[in-house]
Amino acid sequence: MTDIVVIGGGIAGLSFALALHQRGIACRVYESAPAVKELGVGITLLPHAMREFTALGLADALGAVGIENEESVFFNRHGQYIYREARGRSAGYPYPELGIHRGKLHRILYEAAIERLGAGCVFTNHHCTGFEQDGRGVTVRFKETVSGAALPPVRGEIAVACDGVNSAVRRQLYPDERVAFSGINTWRGVTRRKPFLTGRSYVRIGSVETGKMVIYPIVDDVDGSGRQLVNWMAEVRQPGAEMNDWNRPGRLEDFFPIYRGWRFDWLDVAELIRTADQILEYPMVDKDPVAQWTFGRVTLAGDAAHPMYPRGSNGAAQGAIDARTLADLLATTPDPLAALRAYEAARLEPTARIVRTNREFPPDYINIRVDELTGGEPFASIDDVISQDELRALSEQYKRIAGFSADALKAP
């Protein structure tokens, strides 16, 4: 039976471990974080992500702590309505679309892994520092994240690197590679407030060139008084700006002036930002797609394989699809090295296409296109600017590329 070392216990790594367990394949997971805590802000689980988590038996647990989106709505920076479409089960999909706190998603995956694999197969405080391989297996080196002290090396038949955008394994394979930063920084926060629009609305406002906001609820009745925990992300291109830091809180003065006047009759965006419980800053970065993930007994998965802009809510979905695809191939292919190669052949180009699309034609390209047509100025009627059919076509094009068109989700 193949013994697999899983490097990284995030969304992709834990999804992979659970998928392997379902198929009777042993693995051990090594996570860098000293402990798994409910950190971060919101994430959207699109129907193709929920398909994967449903297959892992986690749909009820996720649904209990998230909010099911009913609609996606687009506005310009003046608060004018552009386009609306139903989402998830409201649009006829067999799976819901959920807004959820990223930390809660991670906790549910982690607890499921501990319960099913056993605590002796999931390790924290293990930061990967590199690997070596030979004809019989892979040796992975680790150090304690907290102290930096070397830990005993770990041996497995194959190793799968799910250690994120800053993957130590990918860095060993591609030592000269750097993240791609194009002058776009983001700030993310969560705010407690009464529901807006339907209370199940995913909203995009404005465009990255003059200031963009993505806003959606992730927790219902967060304080017993009917208020929701609302997740938001501010995003703006600032030519010449330094890249934001992943590891420090966001500062209002760095971005709030752009949104100070964003007070609409359906939502006071300025107040939403100003009254946030927490603000974090992140750079908008990805990496250029590479030609190879699999090197002998080692392969990449999730953000280690295809780090992409956090647009379109695709990072978690694609990591979960990687997990299921690779687990299936390992379960059905006698030679594990051949399974790794087949996995790369199946997943590399589809994810590279999403990386490129997120850069050039993301879901909010609808807003970008309207700004191009109006010069960023208010309009009398959106139908005088662009037809609803044209806007719908832009939305459907992204869904097809990302793998969550209605037809794709109805397929086995």
323-368 pLDDT per residue, tens: 999 999 999 999 999 999 999 999 999 999 999 988 888 788 899 9
The sheet with strand 3-7 has its strands ordered as 122-123, 26-30, 3-7, 158-161, 298-300
d(CA 102, CA 11): 9
pTM of the model: 0.93
Low-confidence ranges of the chain (pLDDT < 50): 1
Q: Are strands 138-144 and 126-133 parallel, antiparallel or unpaired?
A: antiparallel
**Which pLDDT belongs to residue 1?**
44
Residue 182: its pLDDT value, please? 82
Residue spans per domain, the chain: 3-41+102-178+288-360
Q: For residue 63, what pLDDT is reported?
A: 96
Provide CATH code, domain 3-41+102-178+288-360: 3.50.50.60
pLDDT score at 285: 87
